[in-house]
Amino acid sequence: MMRRESQINIASIVLAVVFGALMGSIVGEVLGSNFPVLREHITIGIQTTTVDLNVLSFPFGFQAKLNLGSALGIFLALLLVLRRR
């Protein structure tokens, strides 16, 4: 089965979201001293909890802090990736 060129690669979308979030977060922190609204964030995710399997126990959790800069970075990165296709 041949892949069409118009198909969007999932890996490139995930990479764009991660890269956009990182770059946007950095820009938001740098410009946050002049624009305090860029430093405000919301935290989403799962609080760290311990999973105990009686033989093995390990911590499990995930948190992401999203601010306006990271949201704009994700949007711009996705826009660039989707327009290239």
Give the 3-state secondary structure of 16-78: HHHHHHHHHHHHHHHHCCCCHHHCCEEEEEEEEEEEECCCCEEEEEEEEEEEHHHHHHHHHHH
For residue 33, the model assigns a pLDDT of: 86
For residue 4, the model assigns a pLDDT of: 54
For residue 74, the model assigns a pLDDT of: 93
Report the alpha-carbon distance of residue 46 to residue 79 in Å, rounded.
28
> Residues 6 or more apart from 28 whose CB is under 8 A from it?
38, 39, 67, 68, 69, 70
pTM of the predicted model as reported, rounded to 2 decimal places: 0.71
Chain segment 12-58, per-residue pLDDT in tens: 889 999 999 999 999 888 888 888 888 888 999 988 899 999 899 99
Q: Which pLDDT band, with edges at 50, 70 and 90, does 7 fall under?
A: low
